[in-house]
Amino acid sequence: MPLFKLGNTHVPHKKSTAGAMPLRMPPPAEVLIPTVMHIGAAAKILVSEGEPVFVGQKIAEAGGYVSAPIHASVSGYVKKIESIMRWDGREVAAIRIVSDGCMTPHKDLCVPTVTDFESFSAAVRESGAVGLGGAGFPTSVKLDAQKKGLIKTVIINGAECEPYITADTQTMLHDGADIYDGMMLLKRFIGASEFFIGIESNKPECIAKMRLLFAEDECRDVRVVPLPSTYPQGGEKILIYNLTGRKVPEGKLPADVGCLVINVTTLAFLGKYFRTGMPLVEKCVTVDGSAVLHPKNVIAPIGTPIEALLAFAGGIAEDTGKILYGGPMMGIAIHSVSDPILKTTNAVTVLNTKDALPKPTTPCIHCGRCVAACPMRLDPTQFSKALRLSPDDMAALLTEEKLGLCIECGCCSYVCPAGRPLVENNRIAKAKFKTHLSANPAFTGTAVKK
């Protein structure tokens, strides 16, 4: 029975591109494709400098069980294998391809033949599919929970709760056939007893389209559920709780409570892949924000430089203050417009100077708004306090306060009247906690008494 209790911060929707049908941009002069666009091990490069490549050709193999292969998004030749710095400061290998402008598909592409779960999972892995809502967890790894009989409920995430972003909305409005085909694949190969499609109620057209799409008798176990338009409704743990009442424990995965959560655009991609054989080579990206002159949705080859995407979208204002991968709540600031579009890029948000300025920081007034706003019912002030303690006491407090449940949604920082960098402190606390555990594997969570 839906509970609708978690995820209760109201943020401006700003969905000005909700009715903007995506435009396909021409191939850029070059694409830069990193070998890490997913959670897990980097992909292993299969091509060499100077080698010709074609759209859909595998250019990097999965580097481990939790990894994903990568495919060329344009036809042309490999100009350079180089090292680039990611947004998180990590150096990763990347493949720079010069486009020939022809977008010639690879000759060996074919529709995969699947007869059972094993062949289905293997095909999903070969497609390069990852969570396209932003997390980037390899889809085939999620599916493998079926081998243990863990998956009882499949949840399709169509919440799209961040301001500005409407890429998933466009998928629901225009790619219904692919969503349907993807759902039929899951129903055939995943032994689940119930299927949910969760959509925020501020998308009535999407709700109506999905209900019509799954109105047939064979889809009576598929429920389209309107969700309150509160942020972060699309968070995986929040979505599970609001649709099923199940709580994902700290350190556990959705499969541990019988759930498989898949983004609606990922589902649509799977439906299309099993119809065409074309792996993941492009993304629908919302280009919006207070400094965007002509907001729109753009279908771009993966690896497209952000500057080329912005130029196709109509340019940005002179007083641009910040450019983000993603939306303003959980987005990550880029350091250069030459950074590429990734598999996980669902939006590029450009803010003007005024909107990019952080709020002035003043002392905490102990109002409790951050605690009230936290969808995981945590106390962000305790995480900030922990950073001032000794390493053992810090780790003990973070364990007691269940830091691992923090989803870094930014609600605490958003509502703080004192402008405290709460979500940033949470990230720092997580990094220090991880370092402490690595150095002290016997740590039990109890502070050392001195």
Q: Between the ranges 236-250, 272-286, 352-366, where is the mean pLDDT highest? A: 272-286
Determine the Cα–Cα distance for residues 266 and 5; give it in Å rounded to an integer. 26
Give burial (CB, 10 Å; 0-12/13-18/19+) of 2.
Answer: middle
Residue of 285, 328, 377 lying closest to 25 (CA atoms): 285
Residue 79, SS3 per DSSP: strand
Q: Is the previous residue joined to 232 through a cis bond, with omega within 30 degrees of 0? A: yes
Q: What angle do CA 417, 418, 423 make, to 5 degrees?
A: 90
- Domains annotated for the chain, with CATH where assigned, are 117-276 (3.40.50.11540), 369-439 (no CATH)
Determine the Cα–Cα distance for residues 228 and 448; give it in Å rounded to an integer. 45
Mean pLDDT of 25-37: 97
Asked if residue 262 lies in contact with residue 159, where contact means CB atoms within 8 angstroms, the answer is no
Determine the Cα–Cα distance for residues 297 and 22; give it in Å rounded to an integer. 5
How do 153-157 and 194-200 pair as beta strands? parallel
Backbone angles phi, psi at 71, to 5 degrees: -125, 155
pLDDT in tens, 88-124: 778 999 999 999 999 999 999 999 999 999 999 999 9
Read off the amino acid at residue 362: T
Residue 69, SS3 per DSSP: coil
Element (H, E) at 351: strand 347-352
Residue of 88, 35, 67 lying closest to 428 (CA atoms): 88
Residue 442 predicted with pLDDT over 80: no
Residue 7 predicted with pLDDT over 70: no
Greatest alpha-carbon span in the chain: 69
Residue 1 predicted with pLDDT over 50: no
- Beta-strand (E) ranges in 175-270? 194-200, 222-227, 259-263
pLDDT in tens, 418-427: 999 999 999 8
Determine the Cα–Cα distance for residues 293 and 336; give it in Å rounded to an integer. 19
Residue of 283, 343, 14, 19 lying closest to 174 (CA atoms): 19
Q: How far is Cα of residue 157 from the mean position of the Cα atoms in its chain?
A: 11
Residue 278 predicted with pLDDT over 80: yes
Q: How confident is the model at residue 34 (pLDDT cuts 50, 70, 90)?
A: very high
N-to-C CA span, the chain: 49
Determine the Cα–Cα distance for residues 8 and 365; give it in Å rounded to an integer. 22
Backbone angles phi, psi at 297, to 5 degrees: -105, 135
Side-chain half-sphere exposure of 386, counting CA atoms within 13 A: 30
Residue 358, SS3 per DSSP: coil
Determine the Cα–Cα distance for residues 384 and 7; give it in Å rounded to an integer. 22
Residue of 113, 199, 185 lying closest to 146 (CA atoms): 185
Q: What angle do CA 378, 11, 133 make, to 5 degrees?
A: 80
Q: How confident is the model at residue 5 (pLDDT cuts 50, 70, 90)?
A: low
Residue 450 predicted with pLDDT over 70: no
Residue 57 predicted with pLDDT over 70: yes
pTM over 0.85: yes
